[in-house]
Chains A and B, each alone.
Chain A
Amino acid sequence: MDPTLAVLIYASLAAAAAGLGALPLLVKRPLPVVWIGWANALAAGMMLGAAYALMIGGMARLPAVAALGAAVGIAFVSWTHAVSGTGDLPLNRLHETSPEYGYRLLLVNTLHSAAEGVAIGSAMIVSLPFGVFMALAIAAHNIPEGTVLSAILTTRGVKLVDASGLAVATKVSQVLMAIVSFALIGAAPGLLPWALGFAVGSLVCLVLVDLLPECYQQAGSTSIALVTIVAMGILVLLVSGGG
Chain B
Amino acid sequence: MPGLLAVFGYGLITALATGLGALPFAVVRRVSAQTVAYANALASGLMLGASFGLVAEGTVLGNWQTVIGAVIGVTFILVTQILLKRHNVEFGRIRGAGARRMVLMLVVMTVHSFAEGVAVGVSFGGGMSLAVVIVVAIAVHNVPEGLAITAVLRPQGTSVLACAGWSIVSSLPQPIMAVPAFLLVEAFQSILPYGIGFAAGAMVFMVLVELLPEAYGQGRRPRVAVLVSATLLAMMLFQQYL
Contact = CB atoms under 8 A, between A and B. Distances in A.
A and B found bound together:
yes
Contacts of B78: 222
A169 interface: no
A74 interface: yes
B63 A240 contact: yes
B83 interface: no
B209 A222 contact: yes
Interface residues of B, number: 33
B46 to A, nearest CB: 14
Contacts of B228: 204, 208
B226 interface: yes
Nearest to B222: A87
Nearest to A226: B74
B237 A205 contact: no
A199 to B, nearest CB: 12
Given A56-B56, A236-B55, A237-B67, A225 B205 contact: yes
Contacts, number: 92
Interface residues on A, range: 35 or more
Contact of B233 (A77, A201, A213, A241): A201
Given A56-B56, A216-B212, A87 B221 contact: yes
Contacts of A233: 67, 70
A237 B63 CA distance: 7
Nearest to A60: B56
Interface in B37-91: 52, 55-56, 59, 63, 67, 70, 74, 78, 81
A240 B221 CA distance: 32
Nearest to A216: B213
A78 interface: yes
Contacts of B213: 216, 221
Interface string B14-40: 000000000000000000000000000
Given A62-B240, A221-B210, A237-B67, A208 B59 contact: no
Given A67-B233, A201-B229, A208 B204 contact: no
Contacts of B13: none
Contacts of B52: 52, 55-56
A17 to B, nearest CB: 25
A228 B48 CA distance: 13
Contacts of B240: 61-62
A238 to B, nearest CB: 10
A15 interface: no
Contacts of B208: 221, 224-225, 228-229
Consensus secondary structure, chain A interface: helix
A214 to B, nearest CB: 9
A21 B229 CA distance: 28
Most-contacted residue by chain B among A221, A224, A233 (CB, 10 A): A233
B7 interface: no
Given A62-B236, A88-B220, A205 B226 contact: yes
Given A208-B225, A222-B78, A229 B233 contact: no
Given A216-B216, A229-B208, A200 B233 contact: yes
A4 to B, nearest CB: 30
A206 to B, nearest CB: 8
B116 to A, nearest CB: 20
A192 interface: no
Interface of B: 52, 55-56, 59, 63, 67, 70, 74, 78, 81, 201, 204-205, 208-210, 212-213, 216, 220-222, 224-226, 228-230, 232-233, 236-237, 240
Interface of A: 52, 55-56, 61-62, 64, 67, 70-71, 74, 77-78, 81-82, 87-88, 200-201, 204-205, 208-209, 212-213, 216, 221-222, 224-226, 228-229, 232-233, 236-237, 240-241
14 contacts: A52-B52, A56-B52, A62-B236, A74-B229, A78-B222, A204-B232, A208-B229, A209-B221, A221-B209, A222-B78, A224-B209, A229-B201, A229-B205, A237-B67
